Structure 1
């Protein structure tokens, strides 16, 4: 039987300890605890069955929805036949519960479980994904929503959209092919231009792009009221693909980025880098026609998406190939964003220069801290820290810091009171400064969220002095 994911039948949960992995998965969780299972599942991609991973509740509900004020109280069972684990992307837990194997805790063995309990903060559109090997490319990811009290009070219908890239090729083979040496200027089998003289947009040529597990050959159609306002919670869960969100002729209002509120920004298109999220409020057309919400792959004609349909409205077929390629992502819209709840103004205590480095020919990537690869970012609790990221390469890098939110403060010398984020895209030959408060002691991952860049070395850590 081919089955779809059942999206986000949530619940509530609600502060503090422990990964346990010694007991078998059959042991039941406590009465207040939510249960998530890592599973094998079958989905259909353009008429063909594909076996991939998933994160589900026992009911079959995909992912997890909590409400503001809840405790994140979860038992994660590993129903796979391989070691695994899940990172709670965008939440700021105690570092030992961050879900990064070997950094915050051991991987979860097959048939075993781990328990997590901490405040579900910050609220907003978050997500969960494997941080083990290349499992994320096999779709081991799911939405994780902590609904804001304001969103609950509004009564606005909410639609969650998880975007992913799909390949029939096994992830290890994709990675090995990327790392195979080739002459300068050659194209490798995954579509990457190996020349270092000009920017490259995509490492991998994918077979399909998914929105809630489906392509535009059979998109998810969601019923809405005529003329209704809908809150879109859009998550870029792709392993290696940036998107442009396209609302067509309809304008929407950006409410949050990476789950964090911004001053309202009216858009028809909006860039969404790997691992970033955006909440957009859209009002359905007054003429009761259906509204496609499309995600167009950067630099390609490929697109995916869902359809919002007023009851009874016709739904026209939407091609999987657009008339023209989507443009490269830049920081034009990023520079327009303003945090609704910015950091409190105070001097910077520590400024850390960070070079994003790479050798395109060898497909080797790195993070240089104070000019040294492999050096951690060292901070003291209570400091205001500035990270100065300089991209020396010809590819964009969506940089993610675990356990913290940061504010975008400067782009190529232009100062701004930008958005609060946990992922910032750093385009080629660009310098981006972000600021954060060192308020969550531990050992934290800091890396490019392009899965293959991270696997090829673009991974560092932020370490609090004396945290143990």
Structure 2
């Protein structure tokens, strides 16, 4: 998936037109851009698999020219209703893409128009029905700037998925029954030991996002009663949890995909000797955290979730579900090939792509590494190193909320402030207020927390004040607290949820309710 530079432009265009699997390419279509939710067939290690996708004029996904508005006509070509969320963008709430909040899903054959000024950077789009996202109903959404054009870097997008041949319903049934096989220490055998009480929950319906019955009485409940939860813990409880082993993965997927392919047949991106690359990495996986390993090539991390940070050099960076990384790579001035690998945290599985000059030999890369990759950012050391290039303006905080994250592996239920979606109490704010949200994770799994309709800044990590990254999705590891600051936007119901799809499917969502 490339946007080429100099002499590579013509060759790249030809490759896009002839490749077996659609490439993601720069748009040249007149307004409105046509985008379709549709089915497609992938070859996954020699087996055909029918999955979902988002087909634009040049393949899966959209890339917008500098200065172009997001004017899109979305058509549902699937045999079931769907709706697409523009992850990280800030459209009018009516265009946000959450079923029935406020717009209904699109029926088969139905279309809907979208028109808003997009944020620039690396974003993506996906169904807000968890079962559909597990079936790969997602694609990149790249909005380029004039600076991107002037930088004269070859742009490469790395779009990551986890994949199962079984249906999402079968996957969820195995996870609920404790047979997913992905955790440490047989997590299905344990209690889960959540600090937040799990609500009585039989699971969410097919959309879970908009078809539950709202508890309107709860919407006037103010700040809630969770702020002092940690102060009332029984002695020794924190120590008991510290002795437990965190659960990294709760399902062993059949394959891990990079741009729809595995390492059995990876995408090979042609590059120049001494090539200058901007690598846009998007973690669209349902339930897998990845490390991005650039091998012998030094990477420079320049943006997260579409927003610039002060550059950070390294060879390995991690990202949780829903998050994005922009990496700049300067390749050696020689012929060769350079694998860019995505390593599944706490496991040996990996996927990736290969950057290679013309005619360079490409070695076979095993799909299993020799050693397990470590857990991701359990001490938040990576997040602590990220510093925004542009901070939120200084102003007084007018409202604060403690957001308690809880849940158990058995029964498999995940909660926000002790409740599942439909039994939740909205998190309240007024338009224009400076708001602090403190995410306190009292479960033994990490949670990538995503807020719709807003960009926030990380301002406190485990009690340490920081001028952290600006984001839309922040990872909160077990037994940790991360605080973000934001200015409340449009008066509307904005979803706030974990981007681990099985967690979301079992209720881990609330709403950030902004009033005028």
Residue 313 (structure 1) aligned to one of 341, 357, 360: 360
Partner of 2:313: 266
Answering whether residue 107 of structure 2 is matched by residue 79 of structure 1, we say no
- Cα deviation, residue 379, structure 1: 0.5
- Cα deviation, residue 10, structure 1: 2.8
Q: Tell me, in whole angstroms, the C-alpha distance in 1 between the residues paired with 2:334 and 2:420.
A: 58
Partner of 1:154: 151
Q: Tell me, in whole angstroms, the C-alpha distance in 2 between the residues paired with 1:3 and 1:255.
A: 30
Q: Tell me, in whole angstroms, the C-alpha distance in 1 between the residues paired with 2:81 and 2:359.
A: 47
Computed over aligned residues only, the root mean square deviation of the Cα atoms, in angstroms, reads 1.8
Answering whether residue 159 of structure 2 is matched by residue 168 of structure 1, we say no
SS in 2 for 1:7: coil
- Cα deviation, residue 215, structure 1: 0.3
**Superposed, which structure 2 residues align to 1:363-402 within 5 Å?**
363-368=412-417, 374-402=424-452
Partner of 2:48: 49
Q: Tell me, in whole angstroms, the C-alpha distance in 1 between the residues paired with 2:429 and 2:383.
A: 27
Q: 1:177 to 1:370 in 2, by over 3 A?
A: closer
**Superposed, which structure 2 residues align to 1:28-427 within 5 Å?**
32-57=31-56, 59-120=57-118, 122-180=119-177, 188-192=179-183, 193-194=187-188, 195=190, 196=192, 197-330=244-377, 331-368=380-417, 374-427=424-477
Q: Tell me, in whole angstroms, the C-alpha distance in 2 between the residues paired with 1:169 and 1:300.
A: 21
Residues 352 and 370, structure 1, Cα contact 8 Å, conserved in 2: no
**Superposed, which structure 2 residues align to 1:13-32 within 5 Å?**
32=31
Higher strand share: 1
- Cα deviation, residue 219, structure 1: 0.2
Q: Tell me, in whole angstroms, the C-alpha distance in 2 between the residues paired with 1:91 and 1:126.
A: 7
Q: 1:371 to 1:143 in 2, by over 3 A?
A: closer
Residues 354 and 370, structure 1, Cα contact 8 Å, conserved in 2: no
Residues 343 and 407, structure 1, Cα contact 8 Å, conserved in 2: yes
Q: Tell me, in whole angstroms, the C-alpha distance in 2 between the residues paired with 1:276 and 1:429.
A: 21
Of residues 96-105 and 202-211 in structure 1, the stretch that sits farther from structure 2 once superposed is 96-105
- Cα deviation, residue 131, structure 1: 0.6
Q: Deviations over 1:188-243 (max 9, x none)?
A: 24434222332100011011100000000000000010011100001000000000
Q: Mark the runs of 5 or more structure 1 residues left unpaired by the alignment.
A: 14-30, 181-186
- Cα deviation, residue 3, structure 1: 8.0
SS in 2 for 1:454: helix
- Cα deviation, residue 310, structure 1: 1.4
Partner of 1:18: none
Residues 179 and 363, structure 1, Cα contact 8 Å, conserved in 2: yes
Q: 1:4 to 1:300 in 2, by over 3 A?
A: farther
Residues 226 and 311, structure 1, Cα contact 8 Å, conserved in 2: no
- Cα deviation, residue 12, structure 1: 6.3
SS in 1 for 2:297: coil
Tell me which of the two structures has the higher relative contact order, counting C-alpha pairs closer than 8 angstroms and 6 or more residues apart: 2
SS in 2 for 1:439: coil
Higher helix share: 2
Q: Tell me, in whole angstroms, the C-alpha distance in 2 between the residues paired with 1:41 and 1:233.
A: 24
- Cα deviation, residue 312, structure 1: 1.9
Residues 180 and 250, structure 2, Cα contact 8 Å, conserved in 1: no
- Cα deviation, residue 155, structure 1: 1.5
Q: Tell me, in whole angstroms, the C-alpha distance in 2 between the residues paired with 1:316 and 1:67.
A: 35
Q: Deviations over 1:294-329 (max 9, x none)?
A: 000011100000000012211111110011111001
- Cα deviation, residue 396, structure 1: 0.2
SS in 2 for 1:333: helix
SS in 2 for 1:6: coil
SS in 2 for 1:163: strand
Q: Tell me, in whole angstroms, the C-alpha distance in 1 between the residues paired with 2:180 and 2:468.
A: 39
Instruction: Provide the aligned length of Structure 1 versus Structure 2.
Output: 440
Q: 1:370 to 1:359 in 2, by over 3 A?
A: closer
- Cα deviation, residue 440, structure 1: 2.9
Q: 1:350 to 1:219 in 2, by over 3 A?
A: same
Q: Tell me, in whole angstroms, the C-alpha distance in 1 between the residues paired with 2:361 and 2:130.
A: 43
Of residues 168-177 and 187-196 in structure 1, the stretch that sits farther from structure 2 once superposed is 187-196
Q: Mark the runs of 5 or more structure 2 residues left unpaired by the alignment.
A: 1-17, 193-243
| TM-score under structure 2 length normalisation | 0.83
Q: Tell me, in whole angstroms, the C-alpha distance in 1 between the residues paired with 2:145 and 2:293.
A: 25
- Cα deviation, residue 69, structure 1: 2.1
- Cα deviation, residue 133, structure 1: 4.0
Q: Tell me, in whole angstroms, the C-alpha distance in 1 between the residues paired with 2:467 and 2:418.
A: 25
Q: Tell me, in whole angstroms, the C-alpha distance in 1 between the residues paired with 2:350 and 2:416.
A: 31
Q: Tell me, in whole angstroms, the C-alpha distance in 2 between the residues paired with 1:370 and 1:457.
A: 8
Q: 1:3 to 1:266 in 2, by over 3 A?
A: closer
